[in-house]
């Protein structure tokens, strides 16, 4: 049995306008009440995730900053495997480069981040990757569709999920993972079952074990009904 669910947030629990799918929230509460561990995973900050967990009704187990930060429960230790220093140094190089082209890079929630760097998508992510490659910067560039992230290449949602699984006394094979973006690929591959909702780009869908017909939060609901039929047939 799949004893835990790790789910992305933006694009997976939301609609195309980034509004939370309330039926998806109800589905999560059904899982939690049945004893299924639910982990929210995102590129967003810990403080954002804490508020979301309280509103949704999970126990505060999170993967934040695309795996650069993770924690078991609200009272658990905040683990920070990501090296933010290399990300900040890389951002300085990018900022100077694009300033020379008349583009100002805008940091997102810098004071609340512990492991990565996120900035606005006012430039092509592939242009960022080119500068990173040409300058041999030791970071990974992630495009979540909402922001561009610079990340320690040794961490991902997948590495954080495996570490959390050990802390939770679970095997990765006992976890269902659901996502929609390139930053979810490692997580989908590491889980016992990886699902990409239908709005996910082709590389993410190709990494998944199954793709529902529905997109966004409706795809999440279709997925949990498929893999936990006893809980949703009542």
Interior/surface letters 207-225, b for 16+ CB within 10 angstroms, e for the rest: bbebbbeebbbbbbbbbbe
- The three-state secondary structure class of 106 is coil
Establish whether 8 is a catalytic residue: yes
Q: Out of 8, 152, 180, 184, pick the active-site residue.
A: 8
User: Nearest Cα to 125, choosing from 140, 108, 109, 110?
Assistant: 140
Question: At how many degrees (to 10) do helices 22-33 and 216-227 cross?
Answer: 30
Beta bridge mates, 178:
7, 195
Q: Could you give the CA distance from residue 116 to residue 89 in angstroms, rounded to a whole number? A: 11
Active site residues: 8
């Amino acid at each position: 049995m799949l004893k835990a669910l790790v789910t992305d947030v933006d694009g997976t629990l939301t609609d195309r306008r980034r509004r939370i799918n309330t039926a998806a929230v109800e589905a999560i509460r059904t899982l939690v009440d049945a004893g299924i561990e639910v982990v929210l995973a995102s590129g967003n900050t810990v403080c954002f995730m804490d508020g979301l967990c309280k509103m949704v009704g999970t126990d505060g187990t999170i993967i934040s900053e695309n795996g650069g930060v993770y924690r078991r429960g609200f009272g658990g230790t905040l683990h920070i495997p990501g090296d933010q220093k290399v990300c900040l140094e890389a951002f300085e190089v990018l900022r100077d480069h694009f300033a020379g082209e008349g583009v100002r890079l805008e940091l997102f929630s810098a004071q609340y981040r512990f492991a990565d760097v996120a900035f606005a998508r006012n430039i092509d992510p592939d242009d960022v990757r080119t500068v990173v490659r040409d300058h041999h910067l030791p970071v990974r560039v992630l495009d979540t569709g909402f922001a561009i992230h610079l990340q320690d290449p040794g961490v991902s949602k997948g590495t954080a999920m495996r570490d959390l699984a050990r802390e939770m006394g679970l095997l990765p094979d006992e976890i269902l993972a659901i996502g929609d973006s390139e930053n979810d690929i490692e997580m989908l591959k590491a889980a016992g079952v990886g699902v990409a909702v239908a709005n996910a780009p082709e590389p993410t869908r190709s990494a998944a074990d199954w793709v529902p017909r529905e997109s966004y939060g409706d795809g999440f609901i279709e997925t949990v009904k498929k893999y936990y039929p006893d809980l949703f047939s009542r």
